[in-house]
Amino acid sequence: MSSNLEKLDLVPPDKVKGFFGSYYPPPELASHFINNKLEEIYSVKRVHIIVNPFAGKKNGNKIANLISQELQELKIDSITYTTEYANHAEKIVSDISFETGDSLMSVGGDGTISEIITGLLKRKDSSSDSVPLSIVPSGSGNSQANDMEVADYLDAMQRMTVGNLRKMDVGKVTFMVDGKEQIRYSHNLVGWGLGVDANILAEKMRFLGPIRYDLGSLMSIIRGKVRKAKCYIDGHLIDSSFILLLIQNTKTGGDRLTLAPMAHVDDGKMDLGIIYHISRFQVLKLFNQLKASGSHVWNPNVEYYRFKNLVIETDEPTAINVDGENLGTTPLEVNVVPSAIKVFH
């Protein structure tokens, strides 16, 4: 499969003067949706609330209780499901008997949404065409909710009862776990390289709280692991040594980092950021620019592409991250599925 290679040539704006000299201001954030056409207005009759009680501040059950009480007052039925193990949400969604007027609600983080849409899109029926998803942020990473500007559960409920739907792209991600091919649908990001190293380190330092993410990143930068890979972007091969490859559907990722400020979730493509082999000092500079709300995009050491199909091949299996979870290893393939799910907006 080969089509035109879409590379984003970004022109930096004029520098602005600050206390410590002049610097490039962060880019303007792209709109989450570019298709302004209202998909439909949905009348919700029953809500399947799927709660990850371990996510984020571990208050998912409390929030789900409040939601079902409020829904009762609105004369909307609800069923609450609590996840007990990894991938349980996927299993729950695959077993639901959907009826007209049903909707799904995710009470968790980006990983919970990822499991729910995977369960929905793997079903043999066409439920993903009809059953919309409501997103309640209660995870440690809430990138999708952040980008959609969903403030809290009340905001999510209000959107659901108003019923305005938008369609969203997702990525069909094929990767390996213990020599077996696995499929996960991604709504947020797919990472390979430095970002994954940082996440794996951070997970080992959970006791440190949110600072573990910065510390994990810094330690990974100092270690400076560089990997050779073959990266095929819509069939065009880049055979090189990389610090990282980062695929984004949403603009933000991780702990509210603006990784891909230009990304839209409904343009039929995903954004890819590439950092080739550069010095640790240059990576550190990039990391600081990233922390300063996204001005890393002007750094000449970052390349941006948009694609429909992406393949990463490595000599040795290397770790990948899908929507914040370290799920498996390369070889990796991502196929964009345009307008795959409906969300309340």
Residue nearest to Mg ion (CB): 267
In terms of CB distance, is 150 or 336 closer to Mg ion? Answer: 336
In terms of CB distance, is 227 or 306 closer to Mg ion? Answer: 306
Size of the site for Mg ion (CB under 5 A): 3
Least distance to Mg ion from the beta carbon of 7, Å? 15
| Residues 246-285 as x/- pattern, contact with Mg ion by CB under 5 A | ------------------x--x-x----------------
Least distance to Mg ion from the beta carbon of 338, Å? 9
| Three-state helix/strand/coil letters over 178-211 | CCEEEEEEECCEEEEEHHHHHHHHHHHCHHHCCH
In angstroms, the Cα distances linking 15 to 22, 24, 289 are 6, 5, 14
In terms of CB distance, is 60 or 294 closer to Mg ion? Answer: 294
In terms of CB distance, is 227 or 264 closer to Mg ion? Answer: 264
Q: Where do runs of H (alpha helix) occur along the chain?
A: 60-73, 88-95, 110-121, 127-130, 143-148, 153-162, 194-204, 211-223, 280-291
Least distance to Mg ion from the beta carbon of 321, Å? 18
In three-state secondary structure terms, 114 is helix
Distance separating alpha carbons of residues 134 and 145, to the nearest angstrom: 10
Least distance to Mg ion from the beta carbon of 248, Å? 8
Least distance to Mg ion from the beta carbon of 34, Å? 9
Distance separating alpha carbons of residues 169 and 6, to the nearest angstrom: 18
- By CB under 5 A, the residues from 174 to 233 that bind Mg ion are none
Least distance to Mg ion from the beta carbon of 345, Å? 16
According to DSSP, residue 296 is labeled G
Least distance to Mg ion from the beta carbon of 32, Å? 10
Distance separating alpha carbons of residues 275 and 231, to the nearest angstrom: 12
CB-based contacts of 75, cutoff 8 Å, min separation 6: none
In terms of CB distance, is 273 or 328 closer to Mg ion? Answer: 273
In terms of CB distance, is 34 or 237 closer to Mg ion? Answer: 34
Are 160 and 134 a contacting pair, CB within 8 Å? Answer: yes
| Three-state helix/strand/coil letters over 243-262 | EEEEEECCCEECCCEECCCC
In terms of CB distance, is 287 or 305 closer to Mg ion? Answer: 305
Structure-token pair, residue 222? 């100092």
Least distance to Mg ion from the beta carbon of 228, Å? 28
| Residues 68-107 as x/- pattern, contact with Mg ion by CB under 5 A | ----------------------------------------
In terms of CB distance, is 13 or 338 closer to Mg ion? Answer: 338
* Phi-psi map region of 149: left, alpha, beta (phi>0 left; psi -120 to 50 alpha): left
Q: Is residue 234 near Mg ion by the rule CB under 5 A? A: no
In angstroms, the Cα distances linking 126 to 62, 89, 120, 165, 199 are 32, 18, 9, 17, 35
- Residues at the contact surface with Mg ion, assessed by CB under 5 A: 264, 267, 269
